[in-house]
Amino acid sequence: MFDRDVSGRLVAGLIVVGLAVGIWALWPRENSDPSPTTVPIAVETTTTTLLTTTTSAPPTTSTTEDTHIVATVEEAEEILRALWFGWFEGIYNQDEDRIREVVGTQAMLDAARSQFGVMEFEAAPNAAAIEFEKAEILRSDADCLALWVTASAPFLSSSPTVTSAEVSRWNGASWVLVSTWRYRDDLWEADCESELVPLS
Label each residue of 45-67 as H, E or C.
Answer: CCECCCCCCCCCCCCCCCCCCCC
What is the arrangement of strands in the sheet containing 162-170, beginning at the earlier edge strand? 131-140, 144-152, 162-170, 175-181
The pLDDT of residue 146 is: 98
Question: What mean pLDDT comes out for the span 187-197?
Answer: 93
Question: What mean pLDDT comes out for the span 125-154?
Answer: 96
The pLDDT of residue 5 is: 53
2-26 and 106-113 are packed helices; what angle lies between their axes, rounded to 10 degrees? 20
User: What confidence tens digit (pLDDT) does each residue in 148-187 have?
Assistant: 999 999 999 887 789 999 999 999 999 999 999 999 999 9
User: 12 vs 119, which has greater pLDDT?
Assistant: 119
Distance between CA 50 and CA 190 in Å, rounded?
19
Indicate if the pLDDT at residue 76 is higher than 60: yes
0.75 surpassed by pTM: no
Share of the chain above pLDDT 90, in %: 60
Burial 139-150 (b: 16+ CB within 10 A, else e): ebeeebbbbbbe
Question: What mean pLDDT comes out for the span 15-43?
Answer: 39
User: 177 vs 56, which has greater pLDDT?
Assistant: 177
Are 65 and 165 in contact by the 8 Å Cβ rule? The answer is no
Indicate if the pLDDT at residue 124 is higher than 80: yes
The pLDDT of residue 159 is: 74
**Is residue 199 packed enough to be buried (19+ CB in 10 Å), middle (13-18) or exposed (0-12)?**
middle
Residue 7 contacts by C-beta under 8 Å, 6 or more apart in sequence? none
The pLDDT of residue 122 is: 94
At 200, is the pLDDT very low, low, confident or very high (cuts 50, 70, 90)?
A: confident
Give whichever of 31-35, 60-64, 133-137 has the largest mean pLDDT: 133-137
Residue 27 contacts by C-beta under 8 Å, 6 or more apart in sequence? 120, 156, 157, 158, 160
Residue 60 contacts by C-beta under 8 Å, 6 or more apart in sequence? 68, 173, 174, 175
